[in-house]
Structure 1
Amino acid sequence: MPMQNVIDISQLDVRPVENQLTLAKWYPFENGQLSDAISEENVTRRFIVLFGSELSGSQVAEFVASLESPVECHRICCFEAHQSLPRGIAIEVSSDTDIKDSVRNTARQVGCQGAVLNILPQLSVVGLLVMDMDSTAIEIECIDEIARLADVHDEVASVTAQAMAGQLAFSDSLHQRVAKLKGIPLSLIEPLKANLPLMPGVKELCIALKAHGWHLAIASGGFTWFAQAVQEQLGLDWVFANTLEIADQQLTGKVLGEVVDAQKKAAVLKTLQAEYKIAPEQTLAMGDGANDLVMMAAADLGIAVHGKPKVVEQADTAICQGSLLQVLYFLTVPRPE
């Protein structure tokens, strides 16, 4: 298909879409005006982002044709989020309904992931990312792994699951779980601290953000012992986590000081935003559990990372598979002129 200023989406073919659209150029759709079914007063402009797989033009055409909600497509753009990621696709749309679920489901049908952005935060502008630690920045839940070493894993994991699903207040669950760890020697858990498995792509994401002056923090319901180790590996500016009481080189089963719960996580984000004078549209938060939702709502863009169903449903956007480097898809959509 020859390059042109206006695009007929049905004419895209089976070749990679990046071979059919010039990178970072917005192409207006043919007949891409508001339809009679959508009133101008109620309409909201949004950006659909398709990412995670190398897409053909025909897959993109199938996605547009299959959208369930009433959506008017205006412009499309193919862009590069990172040299190691497949090209992303952005579509500027109008709709008078919530299209988030429709976009995710339709994207899955054509073999990729989909997100809806109401704003376009920019990697090149200084921003703030606050993230959870357990099952977000790292692949494990530290408290569950400590419990495994002490042969109380099933008891602790059961309470963890209730908390992450929002069935139990986080503060209550934390005290219940930590109490079961009483008497565990530090020597038993030192190897865990020394070998924390980072979530794939998180280090590369942090490198990319820091290269553009972003401020990075962890706000975790986990423990300072581990958060500080992650901070060192990722070059984070701040960590906020819970402090385990230790006596005679053993855990006492108690937590010291204020618990870092859902409200504290949100307060951390707001405090850092004010301290660094970050524009609201440049604030991101990401996590996997119900206790991350308040923080994610406080940010302008809340990202569920391999999240529980409730979290994926409520988050602004979600990465349900693959590397955390994919966060860059949400920060590199070219702004239309």
Structure 2
Amino acid sequence: MTLPYVLVLVADPAQGTLSKDAIDIARNMVKGKNPIVLSPGEAVEIPCPAPSPGAPTIATIRATLARYRTDALMVKSRGRRKAVLIADMDSTILAGETLDELAALLGCGDEVAELTRQSMNGTLDFEDSLRARVALLKGRETGVLEAVWESSHLNAGARCLVQTMRANNARTALVSGGFTWFTSRVAEACGFDEHHGNVLGMDANRFTGALDAPVLGPDSKQEHLERLLDERGVKASAALATGDGANDLPMLALAGLGIAYKAKPRIRQMIDMQVNHSTLRAHLFAQGYPASVFVE
């Protein structure tokens, strides 16, 4: 008989192998069956019963395994593979914050980085923060866009996540509070079906200090997810969303599997499913994909 839940454990191979002690501890905590290897030394899944009153929560399991640098995700056995992927860009699919990096090259890095920090932690309204940050770019040369892009890199597992889900008929979307100048390039590099972001105002090779379209913020991200679900004709339970900032909270909360990826403190307080140690490949393991079927 198939048990109703699965506890997925994932480590980052670059930091060491998945510890047998961590697996044994986690299995005892959830009263699980024998672990099934998804990727040797990297990921296993442990079939287990539904959490009962008084049983360890996922937060407790995660805290217990922290010293092993192991992520733990508890998912239902049914409906694990998702039909929709919606992902944030900066510090999720792409390493770093592109606006902060632009500002650093333009000489206003400290001011912009502080506004970004407050916005991503949810202590400053996203739209107000974005407009204030963009205003600081006014009159400065746009050539730094290419320099930032040339120094950018995808987070480990990004392309694998997108390509594997696409190969299994999922619709994939990159939806960012960053800028379309970057989302178009990241979407092409990873193979996303579509991308959306804010439009940075530019005129005669200089930034105008304004946006050329309405702000794409947290509500817009949720709206894009709702649209994708409607287009695919599936419920929210069939969606995977991932992001790291406060502007991702609505879509993370709506998706059947919302994963806070190496997220800011406030987001980790509000989202149960978290990846704090391993790579974006953990999103595939959570859906039950073994590494043998990954599209690299």
Using the size of structure 2 for normalisation, the TM-score is 0.87
> Where does 1:48-67 land on structure 2 (aligned, <5 Å)?
48-52=7-11, 53-56=17-20, 58-65=21-28, 67=29
Q: Does 1:324 find its partner at 2:259? A: no
The equivalent of 2:71 in structure 1 is 113
- Tell me which of 164, 175, 199 is aligned to 2:131: 175
User: What is the match of residue 294 of structure 2?
Assistant: none
2:237 aligned residue: 281
Please report how far the alpha carbon of residue 322 of structure 1 lies from its aligned counterpart in structure 2 after TM superposition: 2.4
**Structure 1: 5+ residue stretches without partners:** 1-24, 29-44
1:285/1:295 contact within 8 Å kept: yes
Distance 1:259 1:277 in 2: 27
Q: Which runs of 5+ in 2 are unaligned?
A: 12-16, 291-296
Structure 1 residue 83: Cα displacement: 7.2
Structure ranking higher in helix proportion: 2
Q: Tell me the CA shift for residue 297 of structure 1.
A: 0.7
User: 1:263: Cα distance to partner?
Assistant: 0.7
SS at match of 2:35: strand
Distance 1:119 1:297, change over 3 A: farther
TM-score (normalised: structure 1): 0.77
User: Which residue of the partner structure matches residue 36 of structure 2?
Assistant: 79
Q: Determine the C-alpha separation between the residues in 1 that align with 2:86 and 2:165.
A: 12
Deviation at 1:192, TM superposition (A): 1.8
- Determine what percentage of the aligned residue pairs are the same residue: 30
Q: Which residue of 2 aligns with 1:137?
A: 93
Aligned CA RMSD, in angstroms, stands at 2.4
Match of 2:262 in 1: 306
1:102 is the counterpart of 2:102:
no
Q: Which amino acid is 1:199 matched to?
A: N
Rounded to whole Å, the distance in 2 between the matches of 1:327 and 1:241 is 23
Give the aligned residue type for 2:46.
Answer: I
Paired residue total: 284
Higher relative contact order, chain-length normalized (CA < 8 Å, sep 6+): 2
Distance 2:66 2:78 in 1: 22
In 2 relative to 1, CA 181–111 (structure 1 residues): closer, same or farther, beyond 3 Å? Answer: closer
1:245/1:254 contact within 8 Å kept: yes
Paired residue for 1:294, among 250, 257, 261? 250
Cα distance in 2 between the residues matched to 1:111 and 1:244: 38
- Note the C-alpha offset of 1:333: 7.3
> Aligned AA for 1:51?
V
Residues 1:165 and 1:76: Cα distance change in structure 2 (over 3 Å): same
Distance 2:249 2:78 in 1: 21
SS of alignment partner, residue 59 of structure 2: helix
Aligned equivalents of 1:49, 1:87: Cα separation in 2 = 6
Which residue identity is paired with 1:114? A
Residue 7 of structure 2 aligns with an amino acid whose one-letter code is: I
Bigger radius of gyration = 1
Deviations 1:209-266, CA, capped at 9 Å, x for gaps: 1111111111110000000000110111111100011111111000122211111100
Q: Distance in 1 between matches of 2:166 and 2:38?
A: 15
The 5 Å alignment of 1:1-337 reads 46-52=5-11, 53-56=17-20, 58-65=21-28, 67=29, 73=31, 75-81=32-38, 85-96=42-53, 99-109=57-67, 112-118=70-76, 120-123=78-81, 127-332=83-288
